[in-house]
């Protein structure tokens, strides 16, 4: 089966749908049984059987089947947020005394969660590359966590190389694949053990849901579903699952449009004198472009630029001059968004992460590329002038 068929049809022809063209939303919190023995059997297998909303749900199951198939994974478990999926996954894999390696820049709240785990005796070390991994690995290291492209800098990790290194040392690998979606990159096929996504971004696609998912082999996903998913309470609602299903139907079309517009905007910015650097792995001169072309089939439209300034006020002027780019966090919806860490992140945190003052993150939406280019041009010209 191909990805477009998975996005549009897989799991949507179940008998219980009664021919409905849209997957029904099962709102009920409780499912009942014909006997006490049947209830007991279901409770013992709550990841597979419908018992209570906090276990699983037919609508959520359809979303999970689609997402697992897209990533070429055996199982998927959806959560009420991306951080719900990330925190449950990490918690399932580590215990007191364990150590986690974090390769490259990752989503800020992921780092915050790892710091939170320190009070339970779980430590972590951030490293920049495999040489850093070699230096930082310990006898207690259990997990290697990374993103590719990386957070804010959009550096590329050679996934096959990293997973081979980790496998030789008995480490479990977890990768956040939200940037690419499963359409443009399939980390499980490159050796990653578990993949996580924020479903709030491109997969949902309309800035109207919050959700997350972990995907991988049943031997790793099932324990998360039976323990952390149940105990942490970050259950996905069937209404959000229905939005995921609808978002997936148009994902191939939307991602093609995001890629086209993102590359057009990035190419324009590359030539503007008020821009010091453009961090987009789809550009031929990006340091990781060759690796990206090898392990990815396309590029999304989220990237960063470094303005030719080291003044916070100039960054603020740039954002305020924009008319079509809206100022806000998140990304992956119809609307184009801009955010600048210098204006939204504590200076000490930004400095620790190595983020320059002039960095701005652009999420290129589905508005006409020429409109977005004109908007960016007039805002940048105000700086250059």
Report the catalytic residues: 54, 107, 176, 201
Cβ pair 355, 247 in contact under 8 A: no
Cβ–Cβ < 8 Å for 307, 360? yes
Half-sphere exposure of 205 (CA within 13 A, CB side): 23
Cα–Cα distance measured from residue 236 to residue 315, given in angstroms and rounded to the nearest whole number: 37
Query: Length of the chain, please?
Result: 385
C-beta separation of 173 from 192 below 8 A:
yes
Give the count of beta carbons closer than 10 Å to the beta carbon of residue 205.
26
- Please give the C-alpha separations between residue 199 and each of 41, 80, 205, 361, in angstroms, as whole numbers: 32, 9, 8, 19
Beta strands, E only, the chain: 75-79, 99-103, 123-127, 141-147, 172-176, 194-198, 212-216, 275-279, 302-307, 326-327, 337-339, 359-363
């Amino acid at each position: 089966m191909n990805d477009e068929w998975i996005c549009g049809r897989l799991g949507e022809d179940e008998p219980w749908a009664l021919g409905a063209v849209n997957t029904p939303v099962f709102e009920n919190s409780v499912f009942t049984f014909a006997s006490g023995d049947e209830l007991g059997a279901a409770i013992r297998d709550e990841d597979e059987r419908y018992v209570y909303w906090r276990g699983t749900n037919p609508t959520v199951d359809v979303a999970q089947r689609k997402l697992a198939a897209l990533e070429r994974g055996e199982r998927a478990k959806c959560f009420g947020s991306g951080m719900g999926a990330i925190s449950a996954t990490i918690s399932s894999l580590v215990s007191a005394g364990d150590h986690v390696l974090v390769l490259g820049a990752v989503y800020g709240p992921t780092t915050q969660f790892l710091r939170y785990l320190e009070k339970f005796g779980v430590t972590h070390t951030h490293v920049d590359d495999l040489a850093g991994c070699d230096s930082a690995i310990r006898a207690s290291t259990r997990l290697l966590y990374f993103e590719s492209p990386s957070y804010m800098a959009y550096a590329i990790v050679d996934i096959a190389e990293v997973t081979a290194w980790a496998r030789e040392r008995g480490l479990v690998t977890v990768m956040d694949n939200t940037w690419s979606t499963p359409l443009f990159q399939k980390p499980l096929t490159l050796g990653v053990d578990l993949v996580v996504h924020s479903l709030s971004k491109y997969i949902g696609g309309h800035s109207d849901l919050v959700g997350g998912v972990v995907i991988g082999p049943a031997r790793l996903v099932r324990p998360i579903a039976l323990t952390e998913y149940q105990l942490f309470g970050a259950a996905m609602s069937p209404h959000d699952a229905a939005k995921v299903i609808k978002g997936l139907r148009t994902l191939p079309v939307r991602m093609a449009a995001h890629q086209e517009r993102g590359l057009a905007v990035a190419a324009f910015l590359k030539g503007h004198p008020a821009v010091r650097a453009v961090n987009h792995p789809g550009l031929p001169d990006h340091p990781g472009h060759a690796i990206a072309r090898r392990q990815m089939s396309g590029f999304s439209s989220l990237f960063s630029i470094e303005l030719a300034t080291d003044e916070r006020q100039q960054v603020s002027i740039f954002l305020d001059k924009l008319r079509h780019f809206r100022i806000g966090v998140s990304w992956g919806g119809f609307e184009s968004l801009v955010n600048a860490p210098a204006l939204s992140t504590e200076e000490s945190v930004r400095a620790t992460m190595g983020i320059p003052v002039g960095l701005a993150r652009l999420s290129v939406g589905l508005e006409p590329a020429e409109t977005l280019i004109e908007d960016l041009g007039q805002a940048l010209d105000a700086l250059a002038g």
